[in-house]
Amino acid sequence: MSFPILILLFQQLRATQPSYFFLVTLLLLIAGGVGWLIVAVLGFARSPAFGPPARWFSYAAVCLIIYHLHFLLFGIFVFMGMSQNATDLTTALGIGAFFNLFVVLGAFCAIMGFVKMTSPR
């Protein structure tokens, strides 16, 4: 139970946010979402020709699109929690607890895609 000690250590930690932080974070989030959207569309369009592996990789891309949307939702709830009541971020932490859920689901779908590749060249 060393969490109270960590909280005490992090209370003294101070950092200055770089001026470009918000812009870079937002642009990379948008670029990642658009990139995975293109991958999902191309994967589903080509899945009839390439079979189940392409479909599983497309499911993985969809999971990563949902991951990007989840990251955006988490940021919105943190912003709303900080503007309403700076001491209560319960909703944001509830959403943030499942932060990597869609990465894990995407990894599972990618693994299934590799497993379904049965005809080596």
- Could you read off the pLDDT of 41-99 as tens digits, one per residue? 999 999 999 888 999 999 999 999 999 998 888 888 888 777 776 666 777 788 888 88
For residue 17, pLDDT beyond 90 = no
Cα separation, 26 vs 81, in Å, equals 19
**Residue 67 burial (CB count, 10 A):** 21
pTM: 0.77
Position 72: which residue type? L
pLDDT over 80 (residue 19): yes
Cα-Cα-Cα-Cα dihedral of 38, 44, 46, 47, to 10°? Answer: 150
Of 113, 24, 21, 109, nearest to 65 (Cα)?
A: 109
